[in-house]
Amino acid sequence: MIERIEWFRSHLSNCRLCPVECGVDRRSQLGRCGVGDAAKLSSVVLHFGEEPPISGETGAGTVFFTGCNMHCIYCQNMNFSQKGLGVEVEVEELADFFLDLQQSGARTLNLVTPTPNLIFIVEALWIARQRGFNLPVVYNTSSYEKLETLRMLEGIVDIYLADLRYADDGTGMRYSKVPDYFSVASKALIEMHRQVGSFDEKKMKGLIVRHLVLPNDVVRSRDVLDFVYFCLSPSVPVAIMSQYNPVFGARNDPVIGRRITKEEYERVIDYALELGLDGWMQTEEKKRVTVRPVASTYRVIEKLRSRTSGKPLPSQ
């Protein structure tokens, strides 16, 4: 583990942790992701709105990190993902947060957009484990990940909670400002699946793929689901999200400048059921949670029924 910590630390002077490979000396300036030489957090909460096995009855111990290597024009977390809102903490303090979440009864440790902060997360996990930390670690990612970096996380991450946003590179460039999203994410997801397999709730280990439905099928949702089924495994559960809201730069976009319709969402659910994929869908029901000084509103996700018992329809 010490060798891995040193490998991650070596990227402070010439950061190439993610596919952007900006090469920035983070000891003196910020990377393209917006993070420098210390972990930066937006909030630490018990989150009851992740997929049911991740949150459980006691909530997912969620750390929302500042910074992101993608610049999605519709990001609902824009203030901390791209605008830098957050507080820098030392590695030892980050380890304390992990332990506090465990002591608060968290079901999992849910690391949201961890990649820009990996240098510090890996060391903090090592420190926390010396002090009794044993929660399943959830790597909550956009999937725009470098294979070499993912391989250094093998055995550290228990659950990959990974987006597959687009089925082609051009759409990723238009809406997330990266030129090779699908080319990179598809390989990253295959590596994640190699490491942990399909999600197994009994083992609390494996890959879950998330997909956010956008208007006018700009993301080619059927192709996304085909990739999961044919290139990963039919046993990989999918979380199909309906929460899209045209905020920030998406407001005036001629293609995605509106919310999705019920029919658009149902078509994606229907296709997932046609393939026989298992997983979760979203409803509009929301739950308010208060942990530490932060109160946030999150979604509730409902499990998809099997094809034989009929499919649930979203309430829009």
pLDDT digits (tens, 9 = 90+) for 191-227: 999 999 999 999 999 999 999 999 999 999 999 999 9
pLDDT digits (tens, 9 = 90+) for 124-139: 999 999 999 999 999 9
pLDDT digits (tens, 9 = 90+) for 2-34: 999 999 999 999 999 999 999 999 999 998 899
Phi, psi of 12 (to 5 degrees): -60, -35
Q: What is the pLDDT of residue 309?
A: 31
Q: What is the pLDDT of residue 298?
A: 26
Q: What is the pLDDT of residue 284?
A: 59
Q: Has residue 262 got a pLDDT over 80?
A: yes
Q: What is the pLDDT of residue 85?
A: 87
